[in-house]
């Protein structure tokens, strides 16, 4: 018994030591990342700020080498999932901040803006659009500009495209990546995709698990999460499922100088996502952009991954073909990407934002 007690003490000591080393290493890397990516230009900006949008405190992170550059606001996905976004911004925006002042916004219920006390009644798509509009006005007034660029990813594209439709006079252009069009249809296509992939794999255990999930519609988010796990597994989110890409995305929650350890834990445990999806479940199921938007009065760009099955590109193509745009539209396919072109084909993504979107729209 005494020997067992000693073994337990040694194991506890080893575990405590391991936790200390991990914590110290994370803190050291956060410090290194902060100073190695420091903005050193005389007219630059790097600022983490808490502001009020829709009567709720929310966080934004602004970075750019020249405050006189155009402003780009990035809307992350989820809802309630802040990466890629603020926590990975120092890695993903290195080239963009030379040409834009990039504003990352942790939307209500996500990342640093997550709080379990957020009123569920405030978690509506219309409220997100108005939060976005208030943020745009805050940025316009602060930097004394008439218009900003709005770039959105995944569920952020619902807020993004609705904002572009409702407030076109405030935008240079709208860019949607992993654009959501019709929620029910995208889930149906995703389920067909994983069913086909499971059959192709020949793995009976996976085939049976997918059959047990069953086809949509789903009455609760839990079935959707199960289904999406297989979309991820079969390369419909990140095409090659690179450990480097996936690991870097998850580690960003703990290595970002802008995130506390508790912010990182909340994000890694997907507290914001579970809260947001649950609060907005009925409204999410009813998303159909084709019924609400047939024309947009700003230049529109869709950056879509060829292998995206989280928000299938075929639906974006159908919507794009029928969309009336006064100032032009472009659909760009990323041949080696699924749902995250900004990670999977980072250089192409940056080049298009700088040498296509920025150059084409500045004088419109």
H-type helices in the chain, by residue range? 2-36, 89-92, 125-143, 156-166, 183-201, 204-213, 221-233, 243-255, 261-268, 271-279, 281-285, 289-292, 313-322, 341-344, 346-352, 358-361
Which is it for the CA torsion 177, 33, 82, 248, positive or negative?
positive
Q: What confidence score (pLDDT) does residue 240 get?
A: 82
Distance (Å, whole) CA 44 – CA 56 = 28
Q: Which residues pair with 330 in a beta bridge?
A: 301
Three-state secondary-structure class, residue 175: strand
At residue 252, the pLDDT reads 87
Would you state the pLDDT for residue 253?
Answer: 87
Per-residue confidence (pLDDT) for residue 30, from 0 to 100: 80
For residues 315, 232, 266, 96, the Cα torsion angle rounded to the nearest 10 degrees is: -60
List per-block mean pLDDT (blocks of 10 residues) for the chain, which spans 364 residues.
Answer: 62 62 72 88 96 97 97 95 90 95 97 95 97 98 97 97 98 97 95 96 94 93 94 92 68 89 89 95 95 96 97 97 94 97 95 95 69
Ordered structural domains, the chain, with CATH: 45-184+238-361 (3.40.50.1820)
């Amino acid at each position: 018994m005494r020997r067992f007690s000693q073994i337990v003490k040694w194991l506890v000591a080893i575990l405590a030591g391991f936790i200390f080393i991990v914590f110290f290493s994370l803190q050291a890397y956060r410090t290194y990342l902060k100073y190695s990516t420091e903005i050193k230009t005389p007219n630059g900006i790097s600022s983490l700020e808490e502001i009020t949008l829709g009567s709720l405190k929310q966080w934004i992170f602004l970075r750019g080498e020249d405050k006189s550059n155009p402003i780009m606001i990035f809307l992350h996905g989820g809802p309630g999932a802040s990466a890629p976004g603020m926590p990975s911004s120092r890695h993903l925006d290195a080239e963009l901040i030379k040409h834009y002042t990039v504003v990352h916004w942790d939307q209500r219920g996500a990342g640093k803006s997550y709080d379990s006390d957020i009123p569920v009644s405030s978690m509506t798509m219309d409220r997100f659009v108005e939060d976005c509009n208030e943020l745009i006005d805050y940025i316009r007034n602060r930097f004394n500009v008439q218009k900003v660029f709005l770039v959105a990813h995944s569920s952020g594209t619902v807020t993004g495209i609705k904002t572009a439709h409702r407030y076109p006079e405030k935008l240079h252009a709208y860019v949607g990546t992993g654009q959501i069009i019709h929620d029910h249809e995208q889930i149906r296509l995703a389920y067909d995709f994983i069913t086909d992939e499971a059959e192709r794999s020949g793995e009976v255990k996976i085939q049976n698990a997918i059959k047990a999930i069953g086809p949509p519609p789903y009455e609760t988010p839990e079935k959707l999460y199960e289904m999406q796990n297989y979309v991820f597994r079969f390369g419909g989110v990140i095409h090659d499922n690179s450990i480097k890409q996936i690991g870097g995305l998850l580690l960003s929650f703990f290595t970002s100088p802008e995130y506390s350890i508790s912010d990182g834990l909340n994000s890694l445990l997907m507290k914001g996502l579970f809260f947001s999806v649950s609060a907005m479940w009925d409204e999410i199921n009813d998303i159909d952009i084709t019924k609400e938007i047939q024309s947009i009065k700003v230049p529109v760009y869709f950056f879509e991954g060829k292998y995206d099955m989280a928000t299938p590109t075929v639906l974006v193509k159908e919507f794009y073909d029928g969309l009336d745009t006064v100032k032009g539209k472009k659909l760009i396919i990323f041949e080696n990407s699924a749902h995250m072109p900004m990670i999977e084909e980072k250089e192409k993504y940056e080049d298009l934002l700088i040498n296509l979107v920025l150059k084409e729209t500045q004088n419109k």
